[in-house]
Structure 1
Amino acid sequence: MTNPRSGMVDWDLAVSIGSRLAGDGPSVTWTEAAAVVEELRDGANRSTGLVREFTGLEAAANTAPIVVVDRAGWVQANADGFATILAPIVDKLTGDKTPSRVAHAVGSRITGAEVGGLLGFLAGKVLGQFDPFFAPSGRLLLVAPNIVHVERELEVDPHDFRLWVCLHEETHRVQFTATPWLADHLLGEMHGIADSIEPSGLLDEGLGKIAAALKGGARGGSLLDVVSTPEQKEIVDRVTGVMSLLEGHADVVMDGVGPSVIPTVGDIRRKFTKRRKGVGVLDRTLRRVLGLDAKMAQYRDGAIFVRAVVDKAGMDEFNAVWERPDNLPTKAEIADPAAWISRVL
């Protein structure tokens, strides 16, 4: 169930619209679907030991569950997640100082429709994710129809591809379950953004900037870059550093473990990297405006950072990054691994 406190967003409408826009995905029989679900669960469980052996990270067993979902299930899960993440910001905007002005100006149904459109677009793209904010210890989501769609589109070995996806996503589960403070740290950063918000100026300036950004194609960044204040940009830079670390680390694990257990990993990596660039003008535009281009940069830059540190200091020394929040790399250090090594190691 979505967060009922978020009066600015009609979450039920967002889920309804997002699920409808996402569609069902590729056509499969019930037998095929059941086999895919079982294989993904087995692949995720198998990946736990592979990730531990490669990284040295010890994640507690039987904590974050593995959930294989369809596109509608992913939309519902992410609406719940958004409601949790955005709760401190919504509370700030709908506090005693501006209770009705914001709600009436934005309109919960309008906002719900906009969020639903975003979720509907992303629901057809995401192969899997770790949801760190699902109580009590997070959960791993694997989007079965999207995995089947991509393996068919790329014409790769389906069994190899499914395990390859599981390796990446299971790495995220290990990152958070082996580092229990990490989810609270990220949620604390969202509270920091909320504390910096000035409700009185958000509508007059923020929405105007968003409209101008959409009209101009959001040149130079995503919508978040357009509306952020300097104080918020500092927080966003810190979060960018963390997300680059997480995504790059997962890519390094995939490529490090893959050759020993996935015979066609080279073919998969080559085709998938090409696909990440987006297909079609509309797709590329939406990726840029929504900040997904920045997401792709996180994979690339984060992987370069992780490889540089591991090559220089070894995996055991690199794992100092998971010991405390102060050891996390900044956005600048992601681009300068030597600076992180000098500061932390």
Structure 2
Amino acid sequence: MSDTPFGFGLPPEEPEDGDNGKKKGGQGGSQGPADPFGFGGGSGGADNPFAALFGGMGGPGGQMNPGDLGAAFQKLGQMLSYEGGPVNWDMAKDIARQTVAQGAEDGSKDASLSPGERTAVEEAVRLADLWLDGVTSLPSGSGSVVAWSRAEWVEETLPVWQDLVNPLAERVGAAMGDVLPGEMQAMAGPLLGMMRSMGGAMFGTQIGQALGVLASEVVGSTDVGLPLGPAGKAALLPGNIASFGAGLGVPDEEVRLYLALREAAHQRLFAHVPWLRSHLFGAVEGYARGIKVDTSKLEDVVGQLDPQHPEELQNALQQGMFQPEDTPEQKAALARLETALALVEGWVDAVVHAAAKPHLPAADALRETLRRRRASGGPAEQTFSTLIGLQLRPRRLRDASRLWASLADARGMEGRDALWEHPDMLPTAADLDDPDGFVHHEQLDFSELDKMLGEAASGGKPDLTKPAGSTETDGLKAAPAKDAPAGGSEAAGGAADGADGPDVPGEGKGDGGA
């Protein structure tokens, strides 16, 4: 296994105590692929594009089928003549669909959906939206509801994967081109062209295999923490929902409704927080811009490549040829992305729990199942760990969930949701370390300033005098401190001052769950 996802991510770190107790790359079970996007693995199977082309041509007894051989060479010619972007997305889609057709690790196969399955998904999301109306001020974001097979998930989400992956792959390609001086690039033109084609094929092969594996894991269009589907379209995968619920002892309808709540909650957030999608994708692009390749190592590798043996490029990628420098800027970019993803997941978790608790007897059990899934490497954890080396710590997600729940108690759901109006209003990583301090810190009351501005606008003269003993200062006064009971102020920013009071049980940084 490659420690550097795609060959250009930061090496993963050990998880903190209490998160899982073992390396992310060593998870057992079927919770996620060990290295879905990386260049690790052996020389066979979909990890190697040549194996993908030639591996299945042997007939009974290993005899070669001339027709298969001709088709394979035709595909090889197409691969080497590829002149598109940094990733051969046609190859990625073909390999993803082939991987889906082979079935999942648990033996389940993809299948066309029945009208009954599609209707059940539509009804579940519609009911979930009704329940969410009572726990969030954000309106429904699901303009339409669909059920997808695994193959449909690949087709529908591929455009967003292109937006996410292309900046990373382009940066690696640029780093390769920067190694050779201009005159050497002209001399090595044909070789560089072949390397670009092979690089696109390598990326396409790895991404295609990864998407095929993820297609058997995800239960909706937002399961990785990003909006992968078309805007306003809520989607669930009935086949994967059945696999998720197998062995839980929970009725299928409850499982479907709980996961529909999560999908619908994500849709509300991404639909009505217009800056959020670009904020998350921009963080990944910012990480990509900071990628710097060890050019001395790359020069040595490029100088040793033999055009007659293109598989050497695969070996170089496996050895971490594009491992970036471990700079403070890169670490800061990953920290910002982790905080943003934690805030999204934490909000969804808190809102869904509030909506599900009165209606679903198994709400607590399903919530715990999802937390354990994340701890052992769910789709979101696998995606970001292998894409850019980001380890999503389960403890961070739980801290964010507790913070959002406490905000709802202190400020009401309107005050909680108002923080999404601008990224500068959101809690920071430090606030996740001290959620109680963020929730109960003293807020300024701007009512006097609003009154003064209103009087000035109407032509009146604002009263700048202050009564004796007043705590007002220049029209601004401190809000009175109170203990912020549950169901407190509904106004945004009307939090109570409890920062100096006793800690609320369960609200610290400790590991409160799986």
Shift of 1:312: 3.6
Q: Which of these residues, 213, 221, 224, is aligned with residue 129 of structure 1?
A: 221
1:88 corresponds to which letter in structure 2? P
SS of the residue aligned with 1:314? helix
Structure 2 unaligned blocks of 5 or more: 1-81, 179-188, 300-313, 444-492, 494-514
Distance, in Å, in 2 between the alignment partners of 1:273 and 1:133 is 21
TM-score by length of 2: 0.53
Mapped pair 1:109 → 2:190: no
Mapped pair 1:189 → 2:270: no
Name the stretch that deviates more: 40-49 or 262-271.
Answer: 262-271
Aligned 1:27-38 pairs, distance under 5 A: 33-38=114-119
Distance, in Å, in 2 between the alignment partners of 1:47 and 1:292 is 31
CA deviation string 1:253-290 (max 9, x = no partner): 221111222233244334454455449xxx9x979963
SS of the residue aligned with 2:119? helix
Distance, in Å, in 2 between the alignment partners of 1:80 and 1:49 is 30
Shift of 1:326: 0.9
Shift of 1:141: 2.9
Shift of 1:251: 1.2
1:146 corresponds to which letter in structure 2? N
Alignment-derived partner of residue 241 in structure 2: 147
Alignment-derived partner of residue 91 in structure 2: 13
Alignment-derived partner of residue 217 in structure 1: none
Q: Which of these residues, 119, 128, 134, is aligned with residue 211 of structure 2?
A: 119
Shift of 1:247: 0.8
Number of equivalenced pairs? 324
Distance, in Å, in 2 between the alignment partners of 1:169 and 1:201 is 44
Q: Which of these residues, 318, 321, 326, is aligned with residue 424 of structure 2?
A: 326
Q: Is the 8 A contact 2:270 2:276 kept in 1?
A: yes
Distance, in Å, in 2 between the alignment partners of 1:82 and 1:10 is 12
Q: Is the 8 A contact 1:92 1:199 kept in 2?
A: no
2:115 corresponds to which letter in structure 1? A
Shift of 1:170: 0.7
Alignment-derived partner of residue 98 in structure 1: 177
Shift of 1:142: 1.4
- Structure 1 residues 258 and 7 mapped into 2: Cα distance closer, same or farther (>3 Å)? same
Q: Is the 8 A contact 2:292 2:325 kept in 1?
A: no
Mapped pair 1:86 → 2:165: yes
Distance, in Å, in 1 between the alignment partners of 2:428 and 2:193 is 34
Q: Is the 8 A contact 1:248 1:299 kept in 2?
A: yes
1:19 corresponds to which letter in structure 2? R
Q: Is the 8 A contact 1:179 1:323 kept in 2?
A: yes
Q: Which of these residues, 306, 310, 318, is aligned with residue 408 of structure 2?
A: 310
Q: Is the 8 A contact 1:81 1:133 kept in 2?
A: yes
Alignment-derived partner of residue 294 in structure 1: 392
Q: Is the 8 A contact 1:6 1:83 kept in 2?
A: no
Structure number with larger C-alpha Rg: 2
Aligned 1:192-203 pairs, distance under 5 A: 192-198=286-292, 201=295
Percent identical among aligned pairs is 24
SS of the residue aligned with 1:66? strand
Mapped pair 1:180 → 2:261: no
Distance, in Å, in 1 between the alignment partners of 2:276 and 2:111 is 40
Q: Is the 8 A contact 2:87 2:204 kept in 1?
A: yes
- Structure 1 residues 102 and 52 mapped into 2: Cα distance closer, same or farther (>3 Å)? farther
Distance, in Å, in 1 between the alignment partners of 2:414 and 2:194 is 50
Aligned 1:189-268 pairs, distance under 5 A: 189-198=283-292, 201=295, 204=298, 211=318, 229-268=327-366
Q: Pairwise CA RMSD of aligned residues?
A: 4.1
Distance, in Å, in 2 between the alignment partners of 1:196 and 1:151 is 41
- Structure 1 residues 288 and 66 mapped into 2: Cα distance closer, same or farther (>3 Å)? closer
SS of the residue aligned with 2:254? helix
Alignment-derived partner of residue 169 in structure 1: 263
Shift of 1:29: 8.7
Mapped pair 1:75 → 2:154: yes
CA deviation string 1:177-220 (max 9, x = no partner): 11122112223333423433346749849x9998578xxxxxxx
Distance, in Å, in 2 between the alignment partners of 1:312 and 1:153 is 38
Alignment-derived partner of residue 39 in structure 1: 120
- Structure 1 residues 80 and 202 mapped into 2: Cα distance closer, same or farther (>3 Å)? farther
SS of the residue aligned with 1:334? helix
- Structure 1 residues 235 and 134 mapped into 2: Cα distance closer, same or farther (>3 Å)? same
SS of the residue aligned with 2:357? helix
- Structure 1 residues 126 and 28 mapped into 2: Cα distance closer, same or farther (>3 Å)? closer
